[in-house]
Amino acid sequence: MSAGLFLSLEGIDGAGKSSHIDALEALFKAAGRQVTRTREPGGTPLAETLRTLVLNEAMDPLTESLLVFAARRDHVVQVIEPALARGDVVLCDRFTDATFAYQGAGRGFDQAVLATLERWVQARDDAALLQPALTLWFDLPPEIAAERLAGARLPDKFESQPVEFFRRVASGYAARAAEAPRFARIDANRSREQVWAQVEAVLAERGLIGRHTR
């Protein structure tokens, strides 16, 4: 059985990351892999309920962070860890990096508290933290992201934030990327075909096309 493989897709709202999950799923299935496709906040009935609260209800940053990590814990226990144990490829639309970017950099919440919650929620039996093997970071200037989002649909409370908020979120992603070699920056200010070509190139460079490791 192949080892499980955990990939996350990150980026500010409007960066277009979600539009490439279908192609990623098809790519790995064509290689004979089982794929578990999921998202955060969400991925389980409980986590989806918490997602609705986080995206739509006003709350202070600590409450918001606690709810996000509560949803994540249920998601890890109920979906991600079992899928990796089966040898699946897990494709997750956002994971903990989003919390450091949105609640940490965007909201200005204490990064040390987030790091503590991260350790509590993602600790594994071997004391290591559960983290993606690869994080595809779809990097797009906030001004362009705002143009893409304009009029798309009724925005949630994050999507309706001003551009300055997304500048802070983008800086949060850049800070995480600078600390973690698992990050691969994707220039999302390109055509869909050009963005996908970058994704394929990263997968090839990391040895994830044709040879899969956890």
Residues forming the annotated binding site for ATP? 11-18
Residue 158 parent element (H or E): none
Residue with tokens 């040390």: 112
Helical (H) or strand (E) element with 209 = none
Environment class of 82 (CB within 10 Å of its CB; exposed 0-12, middle 13-18, buried 19+): middle
Q: If DSSP codes are grouped into helix, strand and coil, which group holds residue 184?
A: strand
**Which residues does the annotation place in the binding site?**
11-18
Calculate the CA 197 to chain-centre distance. 20
Strands 35-39 vs 5-10: parallel, antiparallel or unpaired: unpaired
Q: What is the DSSP letter of 123?
A: B
Strand order in the sheet with 134-139: 35-39, 89-93, 5-10, 134-139, 183-187
Residue written as token pair 């990096």: 97
